[in-house]
Amino acid sequence: MDLEYKIIVGLEIHVQLATKTKMFCGCELKFGQPPNTRVCPVCLGLPGSLPVMNKAAVESAILTGLALNCTISRKTKWDRKSYYYPDLPKNYQISQYDLPLAEHGFIEIPLEDGSTKQIRIRRAHLEEDAGKNTHTLGNFTAVDLNRAGTPLLEIVTEPDMNSPTEVRLLAQELQRIVRYLGVSEADMQKGHMRFEPNVNLHITRNGQVFKTPITEVKNLNSFRALERSIAYEVNRQLDEFLTTGKTMQVGNKSTYGWDDVNQITVLQREKEEAHDYRYFPDPDLVPVVISDDWLDRIASRMGELPLAMQKRFVSEYELSDYDAQVLTAEKATAVFFDAAVRCGAEPKRVCNLLTQTGLKLANEHQTTVDALGISPIQAASLARMVEAGDVSATSGAVIFEAMMQSDDDPKQIAEQRNLLQKSDTGQIETLVEQVIGENPKAVSDAKTNPKKAKKAMGFLMGQVIQKSKGQANPKIVAEVLNRKLMK
């Protein structure tokens, strides 16, 4: 049997916006508060309460839409999406239906081979979140409405992704973008980003194309769950097709959940269609009109986006794509690196200091590189010292950490801790001659045995460094050692 298949995935992403208050009321947004303590008549859906639009949330949504290359609607409105569920006290959700805030955009994602792929964005619209149901307190369901009314930006892609890896990469890139823009913390452990992939297969068998029914996997809150659930769905749909022959024409779209313990998807229900929600314009909220001046002010906050910065670090600073990606994972690190290089340091040396020492220390202190108490000027000065051979790379890490507790410059710290490398050729020549005299076998291998020459040279270098108590400049040692061995 001649059978091939293509994976087709579109993604819905819910991003919680980092506003101080909820979408349509003044309740404070703060994670981890006692249940039902951040509520008011509006988000409780009490009779007579009226919503008021959060302007900051609208501006954050517009800024994200611009970053995703979308067309921004100059006039949009709010709609009621009606459904009954315990965590939705009004029995409807305020959302946007036929006039989304942004649409027809695209996002570039970096692929693992170093290339990029463009994924189309269908729409991005604002809505309010529901509350949270808890099932762990007993044989009943408890409802916490602190989250009800939280501003959510729902971003919907076209079905342009063709592997679980591509979907994960898009999710990670979107996380970078919203963090760079400052519109969301995008902390998935706190539910700031949730993913819902729509998956099906286009199967070619004996020259004929069959399309499996689309399944939507709900409320995934990690990159790992996102990638694994899609991989499982691909295998499940393929097995189902081979067993039943079921296709999109005879099968409805279904909603599945992800069982993280058993690593399987589980059928929840047949998917509702738009008419099931009885959308209609919200009579309590006026339409939103976006003027040229307002749009220009929002656009001026954009700044350089992460993928553009990553590409610039590769082209301008000649970093590897991997190093550039590590540095641009968080905006604070990328900006710090860029500033240090602009202070006159060699890019690769600054990169090594930050990726091998700075990020490790930031992780240990649960902060960011820029909050360690070290300025880009200090980091640049230290990088220049390592590059010049004034201190070793190992000593550079020690000095970097010491700068967190000291206002002294790197050179002063190196002097105080006796970490400066000695470049006195005369002293180094004396040490080299001692080592040559003490190790005739290694000298012979270095001079006459091609197979062992490299290892022998490394041994001799190590002996000289050891005799100098780690303070001899390796570059000078290598030069003197090579000159002596050639005689």
Indicate the CATH number for domain 425-486: 1.10.10.410
Residue 428 in tokens: 């180094």
CA 344 – CA 363 distance, rounded (Å)? 27
| pLDDT of res. 248 | 82
CA 118 – CA 8 distance, rounded (Å)? 15
Query: What stretches of 267-330 show up as alpha helix (H) in DSSP?
Result: 292-299, 306-317, 321-327
Residue 176 burial (CB count, 10 A) = 22
pLDDT exceeds 80 at position 397? yes
Q: What does 151-172 look like in DSSP terms, one character per residue?
A: EEEEEEE-S-B-SHHHHHHHHH
| pLDDT of res. 455 | 85
pLDDT exceeds 90 at position 367? yes
| pLDDT of res. 422 | 60
pLDDT range class, residue 261, cuts 50, 70, 90: very high
pLDDT exceeds 60 at position 370? yes
Instruction: Give the pLDDT mean for 88-110.
Output: 95
| pLDDT of res. 294 | 98
Instruction: Give the pLDDT mean for 74-92.
Output: 93
Q: Express each pLDDT in 447-471 by its tens digit.
A: 777 788 788 888 887 887 787 776 7
Query: Which has the minimum average pLDDT: 23-27, 292-296, 372-376, 429-433?
Result: 429-433
Instruction: Give the pLDDT mean for 359-376.
Output: 94
Q: For a pLDDT cut of 90, what percent of the chain falls above it?
A: 72
Q: For a pLDDT cut of 70, what percent of the chain falls above it?
A: 96
Closest CA to 63 of 350, 243, 301, 325: 301
Specify the residue for token string 């859906």: 45
| pLDDT of res. 274 | 63
Q: What does 314-365 look like in DSSP terms, one character per residue?
A: HHHH---HHHHHHHTSSHHHHHHHHHHHHTT--HHHHHHHIIIIIHHHHHHT
CA 354 – CA 328 distance, rounded (Å)? 12
pLDDT range class, residue 283, cuts 50, 70, 90: very high
pTM for this structure? 0.86
| pLDDT of res. 425 | 65
pLDDT range class, residue 1, cuts 50, 70, 90: low
Domain definitions of the chain by residue range: 12-195+274-293, 306-416, 425-486
| pLDDT of res. 479 | 74
Scored b (16 or more CB within 10 A) or e, 286-320 reads eebebeeeeeeebeeeeeebbbebbbbbbeebebe
Beta bridge partners of 125: 154
| pLDDT of res. 37 | 96
Average pLDDT, the chain: 91
Instruction: Map residue 289 onto helix, strand or coil.
Output: strand
Residues 6+ apart with CB under 8 A from 122: 10, 103, 104, 156, 157, 158
Q: Express each pLDDT in 203-256 by its tens digit.
A: 999 889 999 999 999 999 999 999 999 999 999 999 999 999 888 875 568 999
